[in-house]
Amino acid sequence: MEFLSISEFLVEVADDLFDYEEDVIENNFNILRMFVRTYGACAPTVLAKYIAEAEEKYNNLLKMLDPQLSLNYQRRCVEATKEGGNTSAHPLGTWSIPPLILDEEFYRSSLLDSKTQL
């Protein structure tokens, strides 16, 4: 169960990084938004540390799974990554932390202004 928890955490972080700008616009919960509010401009560094620790734990727990289960799980991860459109050389993808939005209100109002001018 711990393995699935770590796996889900990594999937959710990846999803939040992908949806960051949209989540700022819609004022939705997002782990990067939380880290920006807590750590400011240092958020990417702190989040990268959390990701690295989770990946290490994930890899250690993966090694403890039944070998066939582990192989099947890894195959499914590769399939899911391809289905998601990832073109990374690494089968499980790579991490990409988007540029931070430190002033969310300004970001949202700027988008509204640009849409109004169209």
pTM as predicted: 0.82
Q: What is the pLDDT of residue 65?
A: 92
Answer yes or no: are the C-beta atoms of 76 and 69 closer than 8 Å.
no
Considering only residues 90 and 15, tell me which one the structure prediction assigns the higher pLDDT. 15
Q: What residues have CB less than 8 Å from 97, skipping those under 6 apart?
A: 17, 32, 44, 47, 48
As given in the structure block, the two tokens for residue 6 are 């770590």
List the end-to-end C-alpha distance of the chain, in Å, as a whole number. 51
Considering only residues 70 and 43, tell me which one the structure prediction assigns the higher pLDDT. 43
Q: What is the tens place of the pLDDT at every residue in 12-62?
A: 999 999 999 999 999 999 999 999 999 999 999 999 999 999 999 999 999
How do the domains of the chain map onto residue ranges? Answer: 2-117
